[in-house]
């Protein structure tokens, strides 16, 4: 065994297999003997040369064991999305599942790379508390509700540290690093049934289904090794999920969805799929019954009522929340069509970086987000539009520059040929 971090990094950089002891040495000495630049080097070596199955299991287990593990004899559910634009699924799903009687305790992260983060979105709600210790999580008064929290000091602390370095060191899109990060949070939180919403397309880390399936296999591998039920859902990210992209603007869309006021069709299809699968698994019944329950909850606004309970449980004063305006941007810019034709998104990754540029996300981990920056789209892929039609509104803290407007306009195109609509669910690997 090598217990010199420089030699361990060199070993992986030279495509050699690491022992379990060497992997544990690296993870256990984060913030101690291992410097931040060495962590970056190690992550890049893993990104370039990968980890075999044994190394991956060892690396994942080391991260899980860096903190406390919740082991309760219950049948909790969890869900993870690999990131995309406009993905507010977890924020809507948590209260719907509570209304279904399904326990859903979620540990979420901040924005990563060009994609938004659930924690950032929830923190745009005034006084919403993200950080909780393990003792609080396990108290009956708190855990009787579903919750979404940030990574705490005593649950997978190694992942929290590595996560922040991945975001700024060019190692976000490593299959093995993603798999270990995703599953470590799920295993540590003790969920028995885990659904992975694995995004595919220009607005995802995986641009094609083939590469996404490689990650899906790694996730299933880790799940099987830890006796978990894993469901992998491959979903389309060639266009934003829903109408809105940003932080407080996505909270606004989530609330409208739960109130049954505005539901983007593809966002609704995905939520219905996940919620009905969870319901069928939980109660050992049919998917049809799960769909009926989902529709009933939305029709009767039960999801919105439980959403308010979740907010109150996480420090929000409900009267203040109801009285306040969630989304109050300083500036907005209308984007209209310059010609007739069919609308099509070109590159959602570029759109994600544009949103970071207008402060809806971070370039480095110390950057401050402007909660009210974002975009509303009024068209979808394949819509026919006329010259002058409103395509989008961009919201920002400062007035947009000509260069920023040009950048935004380069993320979509208007073409003469009809654009075929793409389905949201591409493939599934069931429990």
Look at residue 71 and tell me whether its pLDDT is greater than 80. yes
Look at residue 113 and tell me whether its pLDDT is greater than 80. no
Per-residue pLDDT tens digits for 357-404: 999 998 777 788 999 999 999 999 999 999 999 999 999 999 999 999
Q: Quote the percentage of the chain above a pLDDT of 90.
A: 82
**Domain residue spans in the chain?**
5-50, 77-152+160-322, 331-415
Instruction: Report residue 332 CA to chain centroid gap.
Output: 26
Fold classification of 331-415 is: Aldehyde Oxidoreductase; domain 3 (3.90.1170)
Of the listed ranges 148-157, 266-275, 331-340, 414-423, the least confidently predicted one is 148-157
pLDDT band at 1 (very low <50, low <70, confident <90, very high): low
On whether the CB atoms of residues 163 and 181 are closer than 8 A, the answer is yes
pLDDT band at 112 (very low <50, low <70, confident <90, very high): low
**Predicted pLDDT at 323:** 80
Q: Average pLDDT for residues 73-79, to the nearest whole number?
A: 88
Quick one: angle between helices 89-100 and 302-313, nearest 10? 100
Strands 229-236 vs 193-200: parallel, antiparallel or unpaired: parallel
Look at residue 114 and tell me whether its pLDDT is greater than 90. no
Radius of gyration of the chain, Cα coordinates, nearest whole angstrom: 21
Q: Rounded distance, CA 265 to CA 140, Å? A: 37
**Predicted pLDDT at 25:** 96
Look at residue 41 and tell me whether its pLDDT is greater than 90. yes
Closest-CA residue to 169 (of 274, 348, 44, 349)? 44
**Predicted pLDDT at 336:** 98
**Predicted pLDDT at 177:** 95
Of the listed ranges 89-98, 158-167, 186-195, 418-427, the least confidently predicted one is 158-167
Per-residue pLDDT tens digits for 6-37: 999 999 999 999 999 999 999 999 988 899 99
**Predicted pLDDT at 170:** 85
Per-residue pLDDT tens digits for 238-288: 999 999 999 999 999 999 999 999 999 999 999 999 999 999 999 999 999
Per-residue pLDDT tens digits for 156-207: 999 989 988 987 788 888 999 999 999 999 999 999 999 999 999 999 989 9
**Predicted pLDDT at 31:** 86
Q: Rounded distance, CA 176 to CA 15, Å? A: 15
**Predicted pLDDT at 366:** 77
Closest-CA residue to 112 (of 148, 166, 152)? 166
Tokens of 281: 């698994």
Of the listed ranges 49-58, 161-170, 212-221, 368-377, the least confidently predicted one is 161-170
Q: Rounded distance, CA 346 to CA 363, Å? A: 22
Q: Average pLDDT for residues 1-10, to the nearest whole number?
A: 87
**Predicted pLDDT at 133:** 86
Q: Rounded distance, CA 131 to CA 302, Å? A: 26
Q: Rounded distance, CA 308 to CA 4, Å? A: 51
Question: What is this structure's pTM?
Answer: 0.91
The CA–CA distances, whole Å, from 397 to 125, 141, 240, 296, 372 equal: 17, 39, 22, 39, 7
Mean pLDDT of the chain: 94
Closest-CA residue to 43 (of 79, 15, 81, 12)? 12
Decide which of 3.40.50.1360, 3.10.180.10, 3.40.1030.10, 1.20.1090.10 is the CATH code for 77-152+160-322: 3.40.1030.10
On whether the CB atoms of residues 391 and 319 are closer than 8 A, the answer is no
pLDDT band at 222 (very low <50, low <70, confident <90, very high): very high
């Amino acid at each position: 065994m090598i217990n010199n971090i420089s030699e361990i990094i060199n070993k992986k950089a030279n495509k050699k297999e690491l022992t379990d002891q060497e992997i544990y040495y690296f993870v256990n000495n984060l913030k101690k003997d291992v410097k931040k630049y060495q962590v970056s080097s190690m992550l890049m070596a893993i990104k370039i040369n990968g980890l075999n199955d044994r190394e991956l299991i060892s690396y994942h287990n080391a991260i899980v064991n860096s903190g406390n593990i919740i082991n309760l004899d219950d049948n909790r559910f969890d869900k993870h999305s690999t990131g995309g634009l406009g993905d507010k699924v977890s924020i809507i799903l948590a209260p719907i599942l509570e209304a279904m009687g399904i326990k859903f305790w979620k540990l979420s992260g901040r924005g990563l790379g060009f994609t938004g983060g659930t924690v950032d979105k929830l923190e745009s709600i005034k006084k919403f508390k993200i950080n909780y210790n393990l003792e609080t999580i396990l108290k009956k008064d708190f855990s009787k509700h579903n919750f979404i929290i940030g990574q705490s000091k005593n649950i997978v602390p190694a992942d929290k540290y590595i996560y922040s370095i991945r975001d700024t060191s060019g190692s976000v899109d490593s299959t093995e690093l993603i798999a270990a990060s995703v599953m470590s949070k799920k295993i540590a939180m003790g969920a028995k049934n885990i659904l992975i919403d694995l995004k595919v397309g220009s607005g995802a880390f995986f641009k094609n289904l083939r590469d996404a399936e490689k990650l899906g296999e790694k996730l299933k591998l880790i799940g099987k090794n830890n006796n978990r039920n894993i469901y992998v859902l491959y979903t389309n990210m060639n266009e934003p999920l829903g109408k809105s992209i940003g932080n407080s603007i996505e909270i606004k869309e989530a609330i409208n969805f739960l109130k049954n006021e505005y539901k983007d069709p593809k966002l609704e299809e995905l939520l219905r799929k996940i919620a009905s699968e969870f319901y069928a698994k939980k109660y050992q019944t049919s998917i049809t019954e799960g769909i009926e329950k989902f529709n009933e909850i939305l029709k009767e606004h039960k999801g919105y009522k439980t959403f308010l309970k979740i907010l109150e449980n996480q420090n929000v004063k409900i009267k203040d929340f109801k009285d306040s305006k969630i989304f109050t941007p300083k500036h907005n810019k209308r984007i209209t069509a310059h010609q007739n034709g069919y609308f099509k998104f070109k590159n959602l990754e570029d759109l994600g970086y544009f949103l970071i540029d207008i402060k809806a996300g971070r370039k480095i981990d110390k950057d401050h987000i402007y909660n009210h920056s974002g975009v509303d789209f009024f068209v979808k892929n394949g819509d026919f539009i006329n010259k002058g039609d409103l395509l989008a509104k961009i919201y920002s803290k400062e007035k947009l520059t000509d260069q920023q407007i040009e950048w935004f306009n380069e993320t979509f195109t208007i073409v003469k040929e009809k654009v075929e609509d793409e389905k949201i669910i591409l493939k599934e690997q069931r429990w």
